[in-house]
Amino acid sequence: MMSKINKGGLMTWLILGILGVLLILGQQFIKDVMYIVMAIGLILAALASIWAWWKEKSTSKDAITTLLGSILLLIIGIWILTHASTFDAIINLSIGIILIVSGIRWFYRGWKIFDDRLMMVLSVIEILLGIFIACTGVATGWPIIVEGAGLIYTALTGFIAEKRFVQA
């Protein structure tokens, strides 16, 4: 069981939540600026999580899964930062992958580590939302609102999970 709150995880959920709000409210922003902000947010979230892992150097399956997800976020963030103008074509796929990876991670933790059915249900919803977002090909209008809502949902699920697992 976790004895303290994972600060890297909380930072990740906070940044993903902020990115979700920006996606919902930011439809009028210049897209390139929005993508740069998103890329920096993803990079910071990934680095915070990688740094938390580095300090603990845990080899548990959960820690390795978190590390791999963070590396994926870092790669996506760097790619967005260096290819912001071409990011429109794959924004849905990237955000969908983030939600799917996060959902799989929380499902695994809810099932194998904590036997928490609520986390498993929330994770399945997150995975389905990620699949839906990854399969839509439009990067403007209502799909971007769904993407923002998906990131906010991921952030809230992460906060709930961290709190539940600390109390377990």
From the list 127, 128, 110, the residue with the least C-alpha distance to 119 is 110
pLDDT, residue 55, reads 87
What are the pLDDT digits (tens) for 27-37? Answer: 655 566 777 88
pLDDT of residue 75: 92
Residue 32: per-residue pLDDT: 66
CA atoms within a 13 Å half-sphere pointing along the CA-CB vector of 140: 6
Domain boundaries in the chain?
7-167
Low pLDDT (below 50) residues in the chain = 1-3
Q: Would you call 162 helix, strand, or coil by DSSP? A: helix
Could you give the CA distance from residue 46 to residue 58 in angstroms, rounded to a whole number? 17
Measure the CA–CA gap between 121 and 66, rounded to whole angstroms.
20
Residues in the chain: 168
pLDDT of residue 167: 58
Distance CA 17, CA 15 (A): 5
Q: What is the pLDDT of residue 2?
A: 44
pLDDT single digits (tens) 96-121:
888 888 888 888 887 877 777 887 88
Q: What is the pLDDT of residue 74?
A: 92
